[in-house]
A and B are shown apart, each in its own frame.
Chain A
Amino acid sequence: MPTKIWQPIADIAAGVQNGQLKASELVAEALSIIDEQAEFQAIIAVTPGRASQRAAEIDERVAKGEQVGRLAGVPFIAKDNFLVFGAETTAASNILRGFKAPYQSTAIQKLEAEGAICVAKANLDAFAHGSSTENSDFMTTKNPHDITKVPGGSSGGSAAAVVLGMAPFALGTDTGGSIRLPASYCGAVGYKPTYGLVSRSGVVAMASSTDVVGPLTRTVADAALVLDVMAGQDPLDSTTIERQESYADLSDTDLTGKKIGIIREYMAEGLNEGVRTQIETATEKLKNAGAEITEVSLPTLPLGLAVYYVLCPAEVSSNLSRYDGQRYGFTVTDAKSLDESFKKSRSQGFGKEAKRRIMIGTYVLSSGYYDAYYKRAQIVRTKLIAEFAEAFEQVDFLLGPTAPSTAFAIGANADDPLQMYLTDIMTVAANLSGVPAISVPAGVSEGMPVGLQIMAAQRNDKQLLQIADAVEDILG
């Protein structure tokens, strides 16, 4: 378990800026912890060359008296679906093995501009398709609390890395819960912003209508600072939205009078009793702190997963069509025709889950089935969005568990893809409706972390981070 509890990110950056800490020593320390914790298989590749060079430059700039930035010398780890210099970008897939980014993602560029240093690339389910990292074409990451269990996914390597103390923060992507679920399973804070708040440029696309970029951290304040650096419109991603003022400034929030709705559908039958107990205990504490707790019902929520597992594979099948063996990545050499090259490169390059999703997506988008599946799912999505809007007229925040259980055993869902999909049942709705959501640690059940999920209306990211910060204080 953790060999290092990093200081708050703002303190590390201040320490580097005032000369008390050296970026080069922080990078060396992060790389050494990554090495020590190798048995958890959280990391696909390290970037020691580029990281050391950047650290030396930052230390030099500090010595000259220059202002480096708000993340000066802070090491971080990027999920391996971010285009980053200094290592390959594989998305944990064989088809991208060996691929080197020709440019960096906007999120990485913004972090680097404030002095942060990427030290490693984290494992994930290949192309972010999964809830456990077992779909990685390379290896399965282990849960830091129990090596026989999964870390959750798809950002499982990022969540495990943060909990194992490899770096003060990691980046993830969340298409149907891929930041919040591993945060919940590993005991980290995982933040999914409003859709479009952080640029997706330079991130390997999964389902473009729900993909978001967000941080995994030890604390809400750290997540807020990282988000503050990354948020905002980007000419390279036309779906980005205008940012609010600072997200990093989390003044002490008083819970008195805050209206919080407990989601009835998430507390229904099927919720693990240990998780239920922790969520009810947390709710009680928030009530004692002055929050107005009510029960709220969103009747369409239980259909969210069905909507998601039509729309997501549809978008996946479209986004993965670019992997054709001609543009970049794996290609076969023995094909006799272009069509054979497409087929062989894709068949040998894609793993099982990617193929499964391509097949489902192709089906629901095919002529004759489009209206019954794809269009129908888009209409039910509208209904879900309307229920969220109605709920946020009654309450400021919605609250419930992040997942119906704690981390499951490696291999437990390996033969049943539908069962694996069901682990996302409480996270997909935020993606479908575009609202921000956060998972914060809320105690343990039988030794495994439980995550509390809080959601707010679209674009209320600041309010959500403020309340999550207060909740974190109360839950201790």
Chain B
Amino acid sequence: MADLARDDILKLAALARLDLTDAEVTEYAQELTAILHYVEQLQNVDVDGLKPTNQVTGLTNVMREDTEVDYGYSPKDLLHGTPAVENDHIKVRRMIG
């Protein structure tokens, strides 16, 4: 797999909503390339017939009753660290032009 170029890093940064400085772009291009080269060893493993593991203890679809649960917190408790609040809702900047 190819080395990561500056353009690749900029594309990833845009996807991850990060603004990187020029120095960071250069640094991450080198470091991510080295890390990806290291993990390339996974390509040579014989994995014939094996399926991916997503959950290690074998649990599937853990359900609970669809009822209201009172955890004892008010919206105000949960929103007290929120930068901007209006009527117990998180307030953000305009999304649609």
User: Which residues of A approach B to under 8 Å, CB–CB?
Assistant: 98-100, 102-103, 194-196, 209, 235, 238-239, 241, 300, 303, 306-307, 309-310, 317, 324-329, 331, 335-339, 341-344, 346-347, 350, 355-356, 358-360, 362-363, 366, 372-373, 375-383, 385-386, 417-418, 421, 432-434, 458
Q: Identify B18's interface contact among A195, A307, A355, A378, CB under 8 A.
A: A355
Given contacts A196-B57, A235-B64, A335-B93, contact A307 B42 (CB under 8 A): yes
Asked if B13 contacts A383 (CB within 8 A), the reply is no
Whether B17 and A343, one on each chain, are in contact in the complex, defined by CB atoms closer than 8 angstroms, is yes
Report, nearest first, the 5 A-B pairs whose CB atoms are least far apart.
Answer: A378-B52, A434-B56, A238-B62, A328-B81, A331-B83
Chain A residues lying within 8 Å of B39, measured Cβ to Cβ, are 306, 309-310, 373, 377
The interface residues of chain B lying within 8 Å CB-to-CB of A355 are 18, 20, 24, 28
Chain A: minimal CB distance from B10 (Å): 11
**Contact assessment for A306 and B42 in the assembled complex, using a CB-CB cutoff below 8 Å:** yes
- Please tell me if the beta carbons of B42 and A103 are within 8 angstroms of each other in the complex: no
Nearest A residue to B17 by beta-carbon distance?
A342
B49-71 vs A, Cβ < 8 Å mask (1 yes, 0 no): 01111111101001010000101
Sample of 22 A–B contacts (CB below 8 Å):
A100-B81, A102-B77, A196-B57, A209-B56, A306-B41, A337-B93, A338-B92, A338-B95, A341-B93, A343-B18, A346-B17, A355-B20, A356-B28, A360-B32, A375-B52, A376-B47, A381-B52, A382-B50, A382-B52, A383-B47, A433-B56, A434-B57
Given A338-B93, A341-B93, A379 contacting B57 (CB threshold 8 A) = no
Given contacts A327-B90, A343-B18, A355-B18, contact A377 B42 (CB under 8 A): yes
Q: How far is the CB of B49 from chain A (nearest CB, A)?
A: 10
CB distance from A419 to the nearest CB of B (A): 10
Residues in chain A near residue B4, CB distance under 8 A: 363
Does B57 lie within 8 Å of A103, measured CB to CB? no
- Additional pairs, 4, CB under 8 Å, beyond known A303-B41, A376-B42: A360-B36, A363-B4, A380-B47, A382-B52
B interface majority secondary structure:
loop
Which size class do B's interface residues fall under?
Answer: 35 or more
The CA of A149 and the CA of B26, in the complex, are separated in Å by 30
Q: B5 contacts the other chain (Cβ, under 8 Å)?
A: no
Distance A66 CA – B9 CA, assembled complex (angstroms) = 62
Contacts of A303 in B (CB 8 A): 41-42, 45
Give the complex CA separation of A378 and B50 in angstroms.
Answer: 10
B57 CB to closest chain A CB, in angstroms?
A: 5
Instruction: Assess the A100–B80 pair: CB atoms within 8 A.
Output: yes
Q: Give residues of chain B (1-48) contacting chain A, Cβ–Cβ below 8 Å.
A: 1, 4, 9, 12-13, 15-20, 24, 28, 31-32, 34-36, 38-39, 41-43, 45, 47
Docked complex Cα distance between A358 and B39 (Å) = 16
Q: Contacts of B81 on A, CB cut-off 8 Å?
A: 98-100, 102, 328-329
Chain B residues with CB below 8 A from A433, complex form: 56
A239 with B77: in contact, given A338-B95, A375-B52 (CB under 8 Å)? no
Of B35, B77, B82, which one neighbours A360 at CB under 8 angstroms?
A: B35
Smallest CB separation, A297 vs chain B (Å): 16
Give Cα A263 to B95, complex, Å: 55
Which residues does chain A contribute within 8 Å of B43, judged by CB atoms? 372, 376
